[in-house]
Structure 1
Amino acid sequence: MADVAKHAGVSKSTVSQYLNQRYDYMGEKTKKRIELAIKELDYRPNIIARGLKQKSTMTIGVIVANILHVFSTQVIRAIEDFCNESNYHIIVCNADDDPVKEKRYIEMLRAKQVDGIIAFPTGGNIELYKGLLKDKYPVVFMDRVLSEVQIPTVLLDNEKASLLAVDHLVKNGYEKIGMITPPLSPYVTPRLERTNGYKKGLQKHNIPLNPNYLVNGEIPDIQAKMDQMLTQTDPPEALIALNDLVLFEILKYTKEQQIKIPEDLALIGIDEVSFASFYSPALTTIAQPAFEMGKKAAELLLERIKNKQTDTTSKIYRFEATLIKRESC
């Protein structure tokens, strides 16, 4: 910076003001001289040194559970958009729902001195998150509630999402309604809440729960599980896919088995997918406001970073799902 100042014939503080875009009392000629000096000297600010001096790297970490989910990528995009407007950068980490990977990423992000973290927590690092809270380190959770840790959380009203799906199917004359889910982990909030919403929806319409209609399994096993479900004596006539990855497997199976939607099997997916409107038939979905949710998480985190905010209670911010009616049911 001293070399740039000397080359431009200005003070170091003037160069600093230029680099931080504080132009209020800076003439155009001065700006041009500094710009030219930076170009001629091929000067690049030392971000690490600046971060040490300002005690901020203007960077946050985002740890997603599974980056293959459409919801995850949309949330990341919303966070990046909001942070970019505030001159923050983001580092994205994919934990694969693995607590060991999640722990490594948290430690790496702390080592890189990022100013805060937005996480889709696995539930396997509760003590580590408690330690972050004790250190007054800014953290916001997305999509999953950890009741043991007092951290603000942004997520969908998942029960209502399933209720919307059941209500729509019943309204269209279906009563034999099944649901296919990934494994029901106690810390993966959406899976538990959407399953509960499905059960409550059936109860609301006085439809008995058939345990053979509620199937869960790892994604590679979904098609085999679905085959068992649909080849039983009294199969369901409509299905709810708990998330987008389950929906993909259902669509693969119905195509391979030449099952017609909705003539042979009605279908609703929870989570909007990019091809839903032009798939044949167009797919009815329950959409999450992913961009609004990502923006809210980023707002909460930057607010905590700037105001050194440490809540003693964890506030949960719920967002409403939307039924998008199309042709699959």
Structure 2
Amino acid sequence: MVATVTPLHRETPASLDPIMALVSADMDRVNEVILARMQSDVPLIPELAGHLIAGGGKRMRPMLTLACARLLDYGGTRQHKLAASVEFIHTATLLHDDVVDGSGLRRGKRTANIIWGNPASVLVGDFLFSRAFELMVEDGSLRVLRILSHASAVIAEGEVNQLTAQRRIETGEERYLDIIGSKTAALFAAACRIAAVVAEREDAVEQALDDYGRNLGIAFQLVDDAIDYVSDGETMGKDMGDDFRDGKVTLPVILANARGSDEDRRFWKDAIEGRRVSDDDLAYANRLLRETGAIDDTLARARQYGQKAIDALAGIGGGKARAALVEAVEFAVARAY
């Protein structure tokens, strides 16, 4: 079963095509920066980094930096290195996450830690973080450096928060939202916000783009957490039920546990603590999620955050750039992977 969500404002399927077309020329420049800066005299570094960077990701976060710069009619070139910096931060966190989670698949391919081992993945992730900070410093703006460095720290905090919440069924909705707001939404927000800095726009515009990215990031993660249970490995590019087997307490689990019977809650406690993780247990978990409406309500919450993201753009720019940013939200909410 593949998760679907009713689009926010449209009758036709949402797509990233408009934003990709909008920033196509800019992305060529960003890709040149990425290719140049992932090089090293140590052959393993570009080999491992290239495996993930060329692994089929849509580069949504750097595209947001570029699209927001277009929205604000910025005519310079600073956004290219900064978008590359955003992508390096994201890629580094993926390398580290796969080690922490013991993941075997990423975007349908074997993860770097499976191919090269955990030490190499961690160290190349560190290399990419360093490259990201080099690019920030080259930009020369302390404001940009503050935004992106703060986002990097918040992401790390979110990952540690998630780690300490793992296998704890008592984790509540407030903590869950804190986790995804940090580990996912913080970089979306920063990627958008820095466009207002390079375009030298007022604080209100900075905050509006931050709100857009942050709400988009939360919606994005809510959808990810829902479809971990109801999609398939081929569609998602990772193994179905990874969150379940890893004991991650996501919103679907929180809702199903709160709404279930005493017997249901005993199951969820055993499952999250690692005692009920077979394929049959996953099938039973999926049944409980459907019966309690946990998946539908998680996706409905994603639509709410998506609408907040769209509303944040009110009064800022227009034309193809704004339409593309709106459709990017609709795609994130309505995607089936």
Q: Output the TM-score relative to the length of structure 1.
A: 0.25
Structure showing greater relative contact order (alpha-carbon pairs closer than 8 Å, 6 or more residues apart): 2
Structure that is richer in strand per residue = 1
Structure that is richer in helix per residue = 2
Q: Output the TM-score relative to the length of structure 2.
A: 0.25
